[in-house]
Amino acid sequence: MSLTITGRNLEITPAIREYVQTKTARVLRHFDQVIDTQVMLSIEPLKHTAEITMRLRGKDLHCEASDDNLYAAIDLLVDKADRQVIKYKTKAQNHVHEPPKRQEIPA
């Protein structure tokens, strides 16, 4: 999985990069088929926003979270992304190719 972290009006420090990498690794515990992940962090007056776009096979997941603190926004974001990945995984597992039902023809 490739991870891209960018910042709007924000310089990505090694501490922020390490924090995001550690938190996004939690999502990989549940689902390891993530192709690409893009994280966008932005700072506006009194509002810190974190967005994530995850490319999975056949689907793109997008989440956004805002808070007064950047680290809290990242925590909220990872929680949302984790729930979406679990939801996607359960749907994918429930729709496994089932054998077709046979219809009996009356004799």
SS3 of 68, please?
A: coil
Phi-psi region of 51 (alpha: psi -120 to 50; beta: other; left: phi over 0): beta
pTM value is 0.80
All structural domains of the chain, each given as residue ranges with its CATH number in brackets, are 2-94 (3.30.160.100)
Mode of pairing for the β-strands spanning 2-8 and 34-44: parallel
The CA-based diameter of the chain, rounded to the nearest angstrom, is 77
pLDDT for position 107: 64
Question: Tokens standing for 80?
Answer: 């949302």
Would you give the DSSP letter of residue 96?
S
- Return the ∠ at Cα 38 (arms to 33 and 42), rounded to 5°: 150
The residue type of 6 is T
Query: pLDDT tens digits, residue range 49-94?
Result: 999 999 888 889 999 999 999 999 999 999 999 899 888 888 877 7
Query: pLDDT tens digits, residue range 3-56?
Result: 899 999 889 999 999 999 999 888 878 777 788 899 999 999 889 999 999 988
